[in-house]
Structures are given as structure tokens and as C-alpha cells.
Chains A and B, each alone.
Chain A
Amino acid sequence: MKFPTSHFTKLAIITCLFVIPACNEPSPDVLRFGLASAPSNLDPRFATDATSARINRLLYERLVDFTQASQPVPSLAMWEMLTPTHYRFRLKNQNSQFHDGSPLTSRDVKTTYDFILDPQHSSPHRSSLKMIDHIEVPSEDIIDFHLARPDPLFPGYLIIGILPARLVAKGHPFHSHPVGSGPFAFRGRPDESRLQLVRRSDSQPFEFIRVPDPTVRALKLLAGEIDMMQNDLPPELVAYLAKNPQVHIQRGRGTNFAYLGFNLQDPLTGQLVVRQAVAHAIDREAIIRLVLGGSAHLAESLLPPDHWAGDSSLQGYDYNPEKARSLLAKAGYSQEHPVHLTYKTSSDPFRIRLATIFQHQLTQVGFRVDLRSYDWGTFYGDIKAGRFQMYSLSWVGIQTPDIFSYVFHSRSVPPNGANRGRFKSPSADRLIEQAEAAEALVDKRAYYQQLQAYLLEALPYVPLWYEDHVFIARREIEGFTLALDGNYDGLQMVHRSITPLRH
């Protein structure tokens, strides 16, 4: 025999290193909400992504909110305009309390806004609030905003969640341990993919679970591992889920505006004919019907027709490949001498799918299109830097028409705004300024409607569609209402009608 038996003991020791891992079971009373991407920042002073903004609306309260037609309405505070550069806000409810029990006072509001306005903190929201000259708090419940220049839409900008001044002073890590006064309080974040909140009104625990893969999210819903989710699901899966008796689906119109953007300084996409040819080459209706499963509505402008400054009479570009071809021919391009475009998109699978369709439809009329897909950060960086010919993105949660100045005024070229296509038009600038200067809302509206008609003509964007919202939940989940901008405020009323027997 070669080895004494003791060697077997040594081998046994090695084998013992194999241990069965422990496991943890989900508890049944929690309401679970599936998310495609996790909120990256729970500090409203810095958060910019849509998921963070939606979650932060639950955690924090803000001074002002919006109606369905995007009119600003009081949320935490009523306001009056004392002079065109002096707004007085009065806190409505003396009982508003932070999650740590301390009351919300005017000082907290001032501290929050002062922090954002301090250039040292480089908050991404500073640029939209730059007109604020200084803030005064004459009493516990009064905040006076003094502006450097008049802006009749000013109250609509005060949508940042209010933080407790005491913790701001201490440098509290709000991004990971949020403390606000909203209807939901932070409970914990066991890992990056799970966020636990509790609803303050009835102590109902909630868990937001990141499940990036749409198929997995759908299956988790069927398996009862999550109770509800909203959007970010390909229409094929929505149709599949709709057939299941355990699931109910709510659809609602949305305001998120999808568009094709161009670089106006590029020798090719700078030409109006080329952009018009693109607009006529894209079959938006077929895409909405066959790819989006009918869950979108044609858009002709950034603002939907039912926005107070929107315009329902706009006439868009119809799908007309013949016309697109002849436009290109007139501009001197042909099959042998095609327009060669580079189209950038994010690496999100659905975006790539859409981009591939656009690429194909553009190829049909004589374009040559190269697709470049990048991870979100790089893509977004390139777009902001103007390093693109053509791209597609959406504007999410647009409420105030100052978006036009932010997106299309010639002084809003990044980093001063979001005029990423370098659109420089004196006519557009003039209309924007006239609209901003107008005192009465009817005049503003008239100017903005003129502007939208002009933009459709000048075509710095090809408007695509407004994406619908779809809320998908297990049958026993009740009480959710969809918001136009897709926020999660409906969770305040959500409840489970019967306790399911098994999880």
C-alpha cells in the first residue's frame, strides 16, 4: 500500500471545506416593486436620473408641484408674487415632520436651496435656479426668494426635495441614508439592488428591487417575488403578461418625449433637406404599432398638446420614402453618392433595437448609417459634448416651457444648457425671449405655440412619440394611479386586497 490511512483524513479535511450556504426567505407582508435600474442617488440636491427622482419624490417633499396640464400648484407652500423679483412662500402645514421627528421649517428650505446655489457644491440643479439672488426667512414658516431678474415661471422651478438643515450642516450622507419629510421613510439598503422604505401613514413596508432583465422581472411578478412594476418592458412581454389571470395591467398616456436629435454644425446634418429626408424616411406609425405594441402616441413637439403651452394643431412629417428620396436627390445625393451618417445610442437593448430599425428605414431611402452604441455615461457625455451627427433620446418629466430656452436657445449650448445640437436660430431665440418676457400666460402661450411651429419647420429635432406608461401588478394589488410623467406617487395608496396564501 502506498499511503497510510491518515492521508485520507487529510483529504477529508479538504472535503469539509465544502459548506452548504445559508439562505434567506422573503417575508410576505412587504410590497415589492420591480425596477429596471436602481436609484443611483437618494440626495435630491444631486440626483438627476429618472429612477432617483421618482424615489426621491416619495422620500422628500417640495415647495411646488404640478397639475396634469403642468400648471404649478402649491405643495409644501403657498406663494404670492410681491414684486416681479420677490416671491413669498408660506409653509401650508405646520405639522410637516422629517423622518427623524424634527419639524420642517423655513430654515430647512433656505439651507437646501443655499446649498444648491453654492457653486462649490457643483449641484447639477444650480443652473436652473441661477436667477435666485438671495433667500430670506423672516419667520418659521415664511421664505422670501429675491430674484436677480424677473421670471414669471419661477415657482415652477422650486421642485427640489427639502432636507433637514440640522443634518445638512453635519454633512449627513443623504445619498445613501436619506432623511426627508415625504410620505415614505428610508428603512435600509441591504445591497445596491434592494432599497427598503416604509410608508409613514400605515407603516406598510416596501421594497424596491432592481431586476435589470425584463424577462426576469416579468417572471418574478408571475412567481410573486415582486408585486408590481412600471414601464421598461418590451411590448411582447406586456402582451404575454396581459394573458395571465394573475396579473392586471393599467395603461396611461405619458408625456415622456422621444426624439431624434441632430448636430446642426455638422456639414451633413446641418442641412435642412437632410433632416427633412430623415423625418420622411422614418415610419413612426409602423414602429408604434408593431414594435411598441401601440403603447405610444405620435408627437410633433416637446410639449404634449394638452400642456397649457402645448399646440394640438401642429402638422408633422408623414412617412413618405419617395419624398425622402427625391429630397436627397435634389440635394445632390444618390445611391452611388449616399449621405453617410453616424447614429449614436446608449447600450440599452431596447434603444439599440429602435436604432437598428431607424438605421434600416434610413437605408431604404438612400442613407448609409453607422450605429455606435455606448454605455450610458459615455453616450451621454458625447451627446453633451456635441460629438455626434445624430442620436435618439427622451425628455422625461417636462413640466415648464422654460425647457425651450434650455434646449433650443443659442446661449444654452452645453455646459450652459441642453442645446446639444448647437441649434442657433435668431428667430427661435427671439420667440423664446418674447415668451419669457411676456407677463400674461395667454401671451406666453401664443409665443410658445409660434415657437413650436417654427421648430417643426426648422427641425433641430425630429419629434417621434410620447411613450405611454404601463403599470403591471399582481391581481391582488389595488389602488395605484398612473402619473403622466411616470412618477411613483401612486404607491401612497397602493395596498394588497387579500393576503396570498403562499409566496
Chain B
Amino acid sequence: MLQFLVSRLITATVVVLGVMCLVFALIHLVPGDPVEVMLGESAQPADKEALREALGLNQPVHLQLLDYLARLVRLDLGTSIYSRRPILDILLERIPATIELGIAALWVATFLALPLGILAAMHRNTLLDFGAMGFALVGVSIPNFWMGPMLILVGALWLGWFPVSGREGFMSLVLPALTLGTAMAAILSRMIRSALLEVITEEFIRTARAKGLTEWRVIAHHGLRNALLPVITLLGLQLGALLGGAIITETVFSWPGIGLLVVEAIQRRDYPVVQATVLFISLSYVLVNLLTDLLYAWIDPRVRIQKGP
């Protein structure tokens, strides 16, 4: 286990460094002089110089990179150009909203996907299976920037059950969580179905069947238990889709999380905030994937040995 842990940690560190370099490069992709783009051409020369200094843009590129990495190590994310506040404070303020939305969406996804996946696997190649998988396919084909407005149209405008947007209480969480969760549920139900189908054919399931257990008991007690493991891993990977989807979902619903922060910062040309937020989202994604890997290894010792490239 220790060896596995160390090797995964080393890989993760390399990836983290790479991500930091790529995020650092973002500001150099700004067409023209980033300082002028951010402050406007009419800004005072002194202000421009101060910002150039603060961003370290007056040094050679390799020094800038080292400087950037050194500041990251000290948890210094810089200052927002728009609000002139420390970016770390802004991030910390926004993170709870995104976590709240993410957890709620995971709930929605799990509650939709589990029954759908199980039903589809139990009644393979029947109308039920086609129906469930058809739903899953439609689910992945509806972009969340359309799903969101449609839910608003029906749930908020026509029925008036939910608030249109914002983050005010439990009811305001429902529509964004549904938007984000349905897309995940679509993918997840397909995964659960194929994971179940794979274990169903295995020896111990056949034994259980032979013992005369009902199909439901076979699936619930033996199939699901073993199918859950790969699903958990995939759930970790799905966090990527969740975080990516959160950017658009938060924009649609004005949900004050870090996804909305990225979009706002782009519109305001507040590039330090864009950099910091992108970095934060990616690093948390890397971290969750790492944890999922380790968790998987903890639950299923065979992974440690099997682990290939």
C-alpha cells in the first residue's frame, strides 16, 4: 500500500506542477499587453507599472514562473484587479456555494441513476432497458445551458414553485441541482448498468441464482455490492464533468459559486482571478481523483497489485 501511495503521490505532484505552469501561461495568451487590457489604455502610467510589478510581468519569463510558483506555495494568490481584494478571500467566500451545489447534484444523480441502472440491467434488452437507456442518451444530449432555462421556464415561470435564480434557501437549490444532476445521472445510469451486467455473469452470481434467490435479492445483495466499486471510481472521474458543468449551471442560475466567479472574472478581464479559480478547480479535481484512487485501493487490495500504466 505504501509503495502504491508514494507512486501515486509522485505522479500527482508532477501533474500539479504542470497544471500550475499551464495556468501561469494563461496570462501570456492575452493578446497585446495584459496590463493595458486589464486597466484600459488611459490608466495612469504609475498604476500600470504597479500592476506590472505586482504580477511580475517586468521580469524574464522563467523568473516570472518561479516567482509565481513560489507565491503559490505561500498560498499567495494575488489581488483581484476588479475588487482589489485578496483572491484567496474571494475564493473562500465562493467555495461553499459550489460544494453545496455539487453535493446536491450528486444526490440527484445517484437517486436517478441507481434505480434506472438497476432496472435496465435486470430487464436487459426489454422495453424497460431501452426506455432507461433512451432517457440516459437524451440526458447526455441536453446541454445544461438549455436544461437550466427550460427548468426555469417550467418550474419557476409557469408553475412558480421555485425561485428563478440566486442562492436563497433550499428551494433555490432545487433547479440548479436538477440541471447539473440530470446530466450526471444519464452517464451514471449507463455505467451502473454495464457494471452490473459485468458482475451478473460471474460465477458467484450464478451460484446465488442456483440457490434459488429471487432476482431482486441477487442484484441487491451480490450484484450491486460488487458493481458499486467501479461506479465509485467513475463517480470520482465524473467530478470533472460536475465541476465543468457547474460553470455554466452557476451562470444560468446566478449561483454565487466559483464557476460563476470564473465567468465574471473573464467578463471583467480580471485575469489573476481567472488564473486562481482555474487553478483551484483543477487542483481540487486532481485531489479528488487521487483520493478516489487511494480509496479504491483501500477497499479493493487487488488494485495495488494490478495497477498498470
Q: Chain A interface (Cβ within 8 Å of chain B)?
A: 1-3, 7-8, 10-11, 14, 17-19, 21, 23-26, 40, 122, 191-193, 211-213, 215-216, 219-220, 223, 225, 347, 375, 377-378, 380-382, 384-385, 387, 414-415
Task: List 11 contacting pairs A-B, 8 Å CB cutoff, sorted by A.
Answer: A2-B226, A3-B299, A7-B299, A18-B106, A21-B104, A193-B166, A219-B164, A225-B166, A378-B40, A381-B41, A415-B42
- Interface residues of B: mostly helix, strand, loop or mixed? helix
Question: B160 on the interface (CB 8 Å rule)?
Answer: yes
Main secondary structure of the interface of A (DSSP, over half): loop
Within 8 A of A (CB), among B127-185: 156-157, 160, 163-166, 168-170, 173
A385 to chain B: which residues have CB within 8 Å? 40-42
CB <8 Å contact, A378 and B225: no
A10-B299, A377-B268 known; A23 and B169 CB under 8 Å?
Answer: yes
B164, A23: Cβ atoms closer than 8 Å: no
B104, closest chain A residue (CB): A21
Closest-CB distance, B162 to chain A (whole angstroms)? 10
Partner of A381, one of B39, B169, B222, B228: B39
Q: Report if B44 contacts A (CB, 8 A).
A: yes
- A225 engages B254 (CB within 8 Å): no
Known: A21-B103, A225-B166. 18 other contacts (CB 8 A): A3-B225, A11-B232, A18-B107, A19-B103, A23-B169, A25-B168, A213-B254, A215-B164, A220-B166, A375-B267, A375-B268, A377-B268, A377-B269, A378-B37, A378-B40, A378-B269, A384-B40, A415-B42
Which residues of the other chain, A, contact B166 by a CB distance below 8 angstroms? 193, 211, 216, 220, 225
- Contact yes or no, B93 A191, CB < 8 A: yes
Please report the C-alpha to C-alpha distance between residue A9 and residue B100 in the assembled complex, in whole angstroms: 24
Among B43, B157, B226, B232, which residue has its beta carbon within 8 angstroms of that of A14? B232
Q: Bound complex: CA of A209 vs CA of B86, how far in Å?
A: 23
Instruction: Check B163–A220 contact: CB distance below 8 A.
Output: yes
How near does chain A come to B222, taking the closest CB pair, in angstroms?
8
- List CB contacts (< 8 Å) of B31-65 with chain A: 37-44, 46-47
Residue of A nearest to B235 (CB): A14
Distance between Cα atoms of A382 and B104 in the complex (Å): 43
- Specify which of A19, A211, A377 lies most central, judged by the most chain B CB atoms within 10 Å of its CB: A377
Among residues of B, the one whose C-beta sits closest to the C-beta of A380 is: B40
Bound together, the chains give a CA A181 to CA B124 distance in angstroms of: 74
Least CB distance from B108 to A in Å reads: 11
Assess the B164–A216 pair: CB atoms within 8 A: yes
Residue of A23, A122, A375, A387 ringed by the most chain B CB atoms within 10 A: A23
Does B295 make an interface contact (CB < 8 A)? yes
Chain B 236-259, CB-CB to A under 8 Å as 1, else 0, gives: 000000000000000000101000
| List of A residues within 8 angstroms of B254 by Cβ | 211-213, 216
Instruction: Indicate whether A25 sits within 8 Å of B169 (C-beta atoms), given known contacts A8-B225, A213-B254.
Output: yes
Cβ distance A475 to chain B, nearest Cβ, rounded Å: 18
